[in-house]
Structure 1
């Protein structure tokens, strides 16, 4: 983990740190399992951001105004959240067209979250397909 990401995560409560680290691990695992190449890890707008070639950026963060959740952010001009809402109506809460909301006490290792991350990391090869080919 890059020092700036580690520093950012370490400034959060322990439960938020653990949840963010789980989602981060899942992003890297999905990229590796799907042979998507190197994951670029940076801070964008003060949030941890992850991107692979041919994918859409994924950002993750915790905010003090919503202390019981982390959010997984997706580019709002993609069809990602719209697709997630269609196929995973009950599995997640959403914030507009931007984010999946994950409670700190929920498992970040769920199949639906892994699938959503996979769709984002492969977005540019799927965006022309209805429901991203699901």
Structure 2
């Protein structure tokens, strides 16, 4: 994160803050493991309630930050079908956040919440 431009660093910090805040307020999620996966900041509930969330900025796509979910989940398909008016998805694993636009906070928090409770919600259905 230290090598990315200030606007990207601010967005990544905001995503981190949202992940921690959401996890603390969601039943069954609890504390997070915070680590680096593939050199990217990553968060996963210690409880096993959800799947890993990663976020990063890449020099090859300098005008955006990406939030990554496990490609074996349906999280990007769900985001694409239910939040496509607010969020752009790439493939089956990333949400694209352009640096030159305001963050769609509610939509991002919805997608992050789905990831934090992914396994709990699948068991309940």
TM-score relative to the length of structure 1:
0.85
Matched, 1:79 2:74: yes
- Paired residues, what number? 122
> Which residue in 1 is equivalent to 2:89?
94
> Which residue in 2 is equivalent to 1:5?
none
Instruction: Give the strand-richer structure, 1 or 2.
Output: 2
Matched, 1:13 2:31: no
CA RMSD of aligned residues (A): 1.5
Superposition misfits of 4+ residues, deviation over 2 angstroms: 105-109, 127-130
Asked if the contact 1:23/1:108 (under 8 Å) is kept, the reply is no
Report the secondary structure of 2:61's partner residue: coil
1:71-97, CA deviations, whole angstroms, 9 ceiling, x for partnerless residues? 000000001111111111211111100
Asked if the contact 1:74/1:80 (under 8 Å) is kept, the reply is yes
Matched, 1:127 2:119: no
1:18 and 1:115 map into 2 onto residues whose CA distance is 20
Gaps of 5+ in 2: none
TM-score relative to the length of structure 2:
0.91
